[in-house]
Amino acid sequence: MCSNRSAFGLLLLAWLASVTILSVEAYSTPPPTTSNCTAISTFDAALQECVIQLGIAPERLDQEYNLLLYPADRDTMCLVRCIGVLLRFWNDTTGLREATIRQYYEPAPEDQDYQNRTRSCLAALEPSVTDVCERAHRSFLCYHQHYGYLRRTDRYVPKTPLEMKQIQQDCVDVYGLDPARLNHYQDGQFPDDPETQCFVRCVGLRAGLYTDRDGPNIDRMYIQCESCADETLFRAKAGECIAAQRRHKLSKCTAAYRTLYHCFRDDQLDLYASLTTAAAAVTTTTTTKKSTPPNAIPALSVRKPCDRAKLSPDAWQLEIILEGLYNRKH
């Protein structure tokens, strides 16, 4: 079946947003590391940044915000929106990204009802509230007041398309790949060749979505995938696919390609998404191309040649490829 609207590229590329503000290093956050290139990934860092950006009186930090008080005045409402934008749990058009904001709150162990309280709070937010600061603030308070305790540690900030583009560029550079490859990749074409396999691994590593030891980080993949609605199903399906691949003994790059690309292509993601509405059990081979769910990743109509015969042997080594690449280049 040659239905490759193949778009690991989409999962990794499908968001457009400005991230230039994130390069501001107005205060001491740890320098970006290889595994995460976003400077701001804690709640407090985003809070600090936004207080400065919006010119809010700094004493409000200690008097209110650090005490977890977020009153409904104009400055605070827009402060909350700013924090949400930086940590990417808020989008003015689409609203709260719940899988992302959830990471910042730890439910109390004895609390059985936090999800219901949060949900009814969000449901009570009238559509007539159109001001983005007010909507952001009201939505945020539902989590802040009902979901759990604020977690101040590093969390996963979903990558924007721009960041993904940079990561892809870095990976092409690191492996000395033909720059023309980038066009294919950014079109969502990831042919099964050794260079591409290593490229996929490189992107996964740099985006913080993958490690050689543990494979794809399903938590983060779910956060990264905005269109994946049913989390239980997503986890089950992705887990199944990854486990099936990891039963084989594969080289590092092949393992990355098989798990990251094959298990998270957009046809897979569509499947996860459509299963949330169709109760019927569908196997991974019967990918029905029905109408895309309302919030699905917009699909590129990119098709790649279906050359199954060109499946590379499992046993090639990263070192050999690197050698080949460098020999060719120098």
Q: For residues 200 and 263, give the distance between their C-alpha atoms in angstroms, rounded to a whole number.
A: 12
292 binds ligand NAG (CB under 6 A): no
Binds ligand NAG by CB under 6 A, chosen from 20, 28, 93, 291: 93
Report in angstroms the alpha-carbon separations of 175 from 60, 209, 318. Answer: 48, 19, 11
Least Cβ distance, residue 295 to ligand NAG (angstroms): 9
Closest CA to 72 of 136, 21, 123, 119: 136
CB of 309 within 8 A of CB of 190?
no
> How many angstroms separate the CA atoms of 112 and 9, rounded?
39
User: Which phi-psi region, left, alpha or beta, contains residue 296 (left: φ > 0; alpha: ψ -120 to 50)?
Assistant: beta
Kindly tell me which of 118 and 251 has the beta carbon lying closer to ligand NAG: 118
Q: Which stretch binds ligand NAG (CB under 6 A): 74-82, 96-104, 137-145, 150-158?
A: 150-158
Q: For ligand NAG, give the closer residue by CB, 277 or 295.
A: 295
User: Does position 29 bind ligand NAG by CB under 6 A?
Assistant: no
The contact pattern for ligand NAG, residues 107-136, with x = CB under 6 A and - = no contact, is -----xx--x--------------------
CA 94 – CA 99 distance, rounded (Å): 13
The answer to whether 21 and 280 have CB atoms below 8 angstroms apart is: no
Task: Between 192 and 230, name the residue whose CB sits nearer to ligand NAG.
Answer: 230
**Among 35-43, 183-191, 300-308, 313-321, which window interacts with ligand NAG (CB under 6 A)?**
35-43
Strand locations in the chain (E): 90-91, 95-96, 105-106, 149-150, 210-211, 215-216
**Among residues 159, 174, 160, which one has the least CA distance to residue 253?**
174
Q: Which of 29, 60, 75, 91 binds ligand NAG (CB under 6 A)?
A: 91
Contacts of 225 (CB under 8 A, 6+ apart): 11, 234, 264, 269, 297
**Residue 158 touches ligand NAG, criterion: CB under 6 A:** no
Q: Which residue's Cβ has the minimum distance to ligand NAG?
A: 17
Q: How far is the CB of 299 from ligand NAG (least distance, A)?
A: 14
**232 is a contact residue toward ligand NAG (CB under 6 A):** no
Task: Measure CA 18 to chain center.
Answer: 16
The answer to the question of residue 1 lying near ligand NAG (CB under 6 A) is: no
Min dist CB 116 to ligand NAG, Å, is: 4
Q: Contact letters (x/-) for ligand NAG, 181-210, by CB under 6 A?
A: ---------------------------x--
Count of residues in contact with ligand NAG, rule CB under 6 A: 16
Are 112 and 163 in contact, with CB atoms under 8 Å apart?
Answer: no
CB of 239 to ligand NAG, least distance (A): 21
The whole-angstrom separation of Cα 293 and Cα 122 is 22
Residues in contact with ligand NAG by CB under 6 A are: 16-17, 33, 35-36, 41, 91, 93-94, 112-113, 116, 154-156, 208
